[in-house]
Structure 1
Amino acid sequence: MPMYNIPDPAAIRREIDASYERCRKYGVDPEDERNPRQKRLTSEQLDQRLELNREFLAIAAAQMQELYQFVAGAGFAVNIADRDGYILHDIGDKPILDELFRGNCCPGYRWTEKDVGTSVISLALEREIPVQINDDEHYCRRGYGHTCSAAPVFDPDRKLIGVIALSGNADHVHPHTPGMVITAAQAINTQLRIQKTSLELRLHNNYMRAIIDSIDSGVMAIDQNGVINNISNQGNSILQWQADLEGKPLADIIGKQIDIDAMLDPGFEFVDREVFIRAPGKTIQLICTAKPIFDANGRMQGFIIVFNEIKRLRRLVNKMAGTQARFTFDDIVGVSPAFQESKRLAMTAA
């Protein structure tokens, strides 16, 4: 579980002492300045780790850069390690980066207690707590002369995903440094949660889009200003509108047949209403149903219109019933102007 309270000095000292004991059991040499047996990734393995942690690093790198901007030029470096302790990325002033490189504190090397003894990365990984270690508090000599702070980073499921660390010369030790690192770690956690929620919403929207597009009827979403903000593929097919309908006022295609202002009333809805749409080059007769859309607070945000062409519905009914029309308009005989106009209107409606 994420823990971001800075332990008091006595608690930190107990954690360091316990780490020393583990390091002795592992057989770590305290005089070590560069362990030749330290685990190191090949270039190919490092590339695989970077790809595996791509989403995490994309967010972490931005926070690393922001953290570094506060200390740039003061002899500090920032690095990030994955859940297994492998350093994946670092940035900082060149002199301190060169020092860290000589101690194997650079991308590709593993920084666990078994590899490097007590360090901020290894202790933050082991105990999943923020920690600051200064100068000779490091178990191995390679850490002497440095002040380091680190904080664990957790994924949206509250599982450890890595560690972010800030290192500098020991004479630059400052009590506020752990707080800066903790803030960066929390920011990464927050961004990871936001990213997960965004991906889940996108997947949900894709499911909904697939369901809507599988419906034989057209579906159109109208916002609270009466503007079309979404239309299904089947809806576009029915309307045969050459230009993009999204962003157009609904009134542009239905005229005054429906009172748009009335539709924006939360209690307004209708079922199976006949509507004529002015499509390019022709008029299409539709049967429509409208339902309001509400947000989580019960406020109306727009409405959904489900529609289909009456001709298509009639063809479907005839197909299901196994019946066909017994006569056509050609069978209707009449010569008066009024009769011919009525026949023309009937043919249009059919």
Structure 2
Amino acid sequence: MRHLDLDEKKRLWEEFIYKGVIDPGVNRNVALSWMKCSKKKVDPYGGMGRKTDPELLKSIREENQWLIDIAGPIMRNLFDIVSGSHFLLVLTDSCGYILETIGDEAVNRMAHEMHFEVGMLWNDDAVGTNAIGVALDQDVQIQMAGAEHYCITHHKWTCSASPIHGLNGEVVGCLNISGDASMANSHSLGIVAAAAFGIENQILQRHTTGLMRTALDSSSDGIVILDEAYRSVWMNKAAENILFMGLSELSGMDFRSLMPDMPWGVADKNSTGKRHVRNDCKLILGSIVYQMSASISPIIFERSTIGYSVSMMRQEQLLKTVNKVTGNHASYTFDDIYATDPVMKRVIQMAQKYSKYDGNILIEGESGTGKELFAQAIHNASARADAPFITINCASIPRDLVESELFGYEKGAFTGALKEGKPGKFELADGGTIFLDEIGEMPLEFQPKLLRIVQSRCVQRLGGKYEKKLDIRIIVATNRNLKDEVAARNFREDLYFRFNVLKLTIPPLRERKKDIAYCAEKFLEHFNQRYPEISKAMDGRFLRELEGHYWPGNVRELQNCIERAFYTGAGNVLTDASSYFDAIDVPKSTPQQTRIFNGTLEELEGKNVETVLKDCGGDVCLAAEKLGISRASMYRRLKKYGISPKAASGRLS
């Protein structure tokens, strides 16, 4: 297309306005807009901008504030370049409403005469063919001068406009540069196009930054960005919560002083950006010390370290993950404890009451009576049900590992220790329950340290300098009589009293005859459901033999017996229980049961009342229920034989 001067453009404009003829020399985009304006009956002698309603303008500017913020600095830089040439810079939204203008006094005066100002609608329909309208309507970069404008009031102007595109390629606005038509310059369009491209890049960058900021702020890990002097320049919301301070407070500190355990020296020498992780380190905030899991990643630019990215997490969060992965949770509830005997039901009721409180619980009972089952049920019925349940068998830990297993250790605490240290079982149980099984086997020399934790609810790792406050419930269990162990000087008296706050005594299976058949039926029902193709039942003889057995292994032994009978028994009905008893079982008639008592019947009755009361932990109601007599009758017998419930409870005087 040949270059047209202003006079030729004027002639072609007149041919269209007066004759309706479009010369082939007219720019195609301009010609399309002329025809559109003619069809819509735009007045070619008009072209003055119309003022927008103030409330509408306010809404438009608020909606496009982000575009104004991005384009503003670029427009000011561009104006510095064209300063003195009497050009006007104009920013519009996607509809053509003018959002911002920058110009000198002379060009502003010209623009004011035709209402080419902020708030005016500047599209083809409103003011006729113009660079802004064509750029927005046809999504093109265009330069127009003189009579290429549809309205005669614009013929003294030259305009270069470029649409601004958003993230998905949609037109979100327009950048325009306007001046005197006699000063039309082909470079103007290139300048405007470059500026619009810069705005588009800024839009993309702001969007990317926003996405990154949102992603980092949604992370549960605290993230802090440091400069090369270890001063904080940015942090996410999680870091603010962990550090209890904002960027303004943190920026003046050398971050190395807050986390001295981190390998800063190694990170300094690393120019590859390698990440350094510490799963067990300290965060020191004044007098408070937190255990953390953290990592450092050097930020590399042109092979030089220009800063560091620090990611951190409170160790409580890490321990929750560890507990979940390693199965440190309670599986059983009170529904899993089978009982129909009144004595056992009373024990369950007492345990359910205990579950509501955080007091230490001592569970005594023979092996196989279900002490851990009760401990798990108490935990799951408590407010700590969703927290960890940590089990420690005190009899199975080697003596030289007791302290490190229970209390944990710092790095380098002893030969063979992990280089980052290790939390102990008490730390893992923080927020939940710790169950110390076979507590009577705890070595005497370690009991004072255990007493310290039980009293203070604080733990200090081996080699550590700081104590960590714990929120834990402690349940202990033993198949020994701890009172006797105290008397024999095998167990500390003060530790015994610390544990014996809430006490449960689980009776052996042989003392709750009604539970034998009931539990056997439950166990058999379980196996029948699991293997219906070999379903079995128990006859009367089988049940009588079960009830007559001594059951030294208690419920655990009974379950094993039923499982053995189910798998190996011939036919669908089990008849001979004795053939499935363990070969090492104590016989039904034990020395204790068969020894001859050389006293009167009254003495025998008194001895029996005292024994039952002692087995019930001094609980008069429970003992009366077990003996099948009323509470009043029980008190009469106690008075008759001079038996004290307090003495029978097993409490130390």
Please, what TM-score do these two structures have when normalized by structure 1? 0.70
1:71-122 CA-partner distances (Å, limit 9, x unpaired): 2222211111111111122121222222222212111211111111111111
Residues 40 and 109, structure 1, Cα contact 8 Å, conserved in 2: yes
Residue in structure 2 matching 1:23, options 17, 26, 37: 37
Count matched residues.
313
Runs of 4 or more, structure 1, over 4 Å off, are 7-12, 219-237, 243-246, 262-271, 275-284, 288-296, 299-306, 308-311, 323-327, 331-334
Residue type of the partner of 1:96?
V
Tell me which amino acid in the other structure corresponds to 2:134.
L
Hey, what does 1:192 align to over in structure 2?
Answer: 203
Change (3 A) 1:13 1:197: same
Q: Give yes or no for the alignment of 1:183 onto 2:298.
A: no
Alignment counterpart, residue 261 of structure 2, candidates 238, 254, 259 = 254
Counterpart of 1:313 in structure 2 is 428
User: Residues 133 and 196 (structure 1 numbering): CA distance in 2 closer, same or farther, change over 3 Å?
Assistant: same
Greater shift, 10-19 or 100-109, is seen at: 10-19
Alignment partners' CA distance in 2, 1:32 and 1:228: 61
C-alpha contact (below 8 Å) 2:275/2:297 kept by paired residues: no
Partners of 2:275 and 2:295 within 8 A in 1: no
CA–CA distance in structure 2, aligned partners of residues 115 and 262 of structure 1: 63
Preserved CA contact (<8 Å) 1:77 1:96: yes
| Partner SS for 1:96 | helix
The corresponding residue for 2:329 is: none
Aligned to 1:13: 27
SS class of match (2:186)? coil
Shift of 1:253: 3.5
Deviations 1:211-266 (A, max 9, x none): 23xxxxxx7879899979778467558xxxxx9697433796339xx896499795
Cα distance, 1:26–1:253 mapped onto 2, change above 3 Å: same
Which of 143, 148, 166 is residue 177 of structure 2 equivalent to?
166
Are the counterparts in 2 of residues 150 and 165 from structure 1 also a CA contact under 8 Å? yes
Greater fraction of residues in strand: 1
Determine if contact 2:162/2:196 at 8 Å carries over to the other structure: yes
Say if 2:48 is the partner of 1:49.
no
Unaligned 5+ segments in structure 1 are 1-6, 213-218, 238-242
Q: CA deviation at 1:267?
A: 9.2
Aligned CA distance change for structure 1 residues 207 and 325 (closer, same or farther; 3 Å): farther
1:85 touches 1:110 (CA, 8 Å); kept in 2?
yes
For residue 57 of structure 1, report the CA deviation from its aligned partner. 0.6
| Aligned match of 1:151 | 162
Matched, 1:139 2:146: no
Q: CA separation in 1, counterparts of 2:208 and 2:194?
A: 21
Across the aligned residues of Structure 1 and Structure 2, the Cα RMSD in angstroms comes to 4.6
Q: Which amino acid in 2 is paired with 1:248?
A: F
Residues 72, 95 of structure 1: alpha-carbon distance in 2 compared, 3 angstrom cutoff: same
SS of the residue 1:29 aligns to: coil
Q: Does the Cα contact within 8 Å between 1:153 and 1:160 map onto a contact in 2?
A: yes
1:178: how far off?
0.7
Partner Cα distance (2:275, 2:172) in 1: 49
3-state secondary structure, aligned to 1:185? helix
- CA distance in 1 between counterparts of 2:283 and 2:166 reads 51
Structure 1 contact 149–181 (Cα < 8 Å) conserved: yes
- Deviation at residue 315 of structure 1 after TM alignment: 3.7
Alignment CA distance shift 1:8-1:163 (3 Å) = farther
TM-score of the pair, normalised by structure 2: 0.40
SS at match of 1:249: helix
Q: C-alpha separation between the residues in 1 aligned to 2:437 and 2:165?
A: 67
Listed one character per residue, the Cα deviations across residues 1-53 of structure 1 (whole Å, up to 9, x for unaligned) are: xxxxxx9968971111111111110101212253xxx6531222212211111
- The answer for the alignment partner of 1:118 in structure 2 is 129
Which residue number corresponds to residue 647 of structure 2?
A: none
- Provide the rounded CA distance (Å) in 1 between the counterparts of 2:135 and 2:118: 18
Aligned match of 1:109: 120
1:216 equivalent in structure 2: none
Could you tell me whether the CA contact under 8 Å between 2:44 and 2:152 is conserved in 1?
yes
- Whether the aligned pair in 2 keeps the contact of 1:68 and 1:91 (CA below 8 Å) is yes
Q: Is the 8 A contact 1:228 1:250 kept in 2?
A: no
Aligned to 1:150, what secondary structure does the other structure show? strand
**More RCO (CA 8 Å, sep 6+):** 1
Counterpart of 1:4? none
Which residue, 81, 87, 91 being the options, matches 1:80? 91
2:88, 2:101 within 8 Å by CA — same for their partners in 1?
yes
How do 1:199-278 and structure 2 match up within 5 A? Answer: 199-208=210-219, 211-212=220-221, 232=239, 236=243, 247-249=254-256, 253-254=260-261, 261=266
Q: 1:124 to 1:278 in 2, by over 3 A?
A: closer
Deviation at 1:140, TM superposition (A): 0.7
- Give the Å deviation of 1:293: 5.6
Q: Is the 8 A contact 2:258 2:284 kept in 1?
A: no
SS of aligned partner of 1:41: coil
The code of the aligned residue for 1:60 comes to: A
Residue 332 of structure 1 and its aligned partner are, at CA, apart by 5.3
Residues 1:202 and 1:224: Cα distance change in structure 2 (over 3 Å) = closer
Cα-to-partner distance string for 1:173-204 (whole Å, 9 max, x where unaligned): 11111111111111111111111111111111
Q: Is the 2:225–2:309 Cα contact (8 Å) retained in structure 1? A: yes
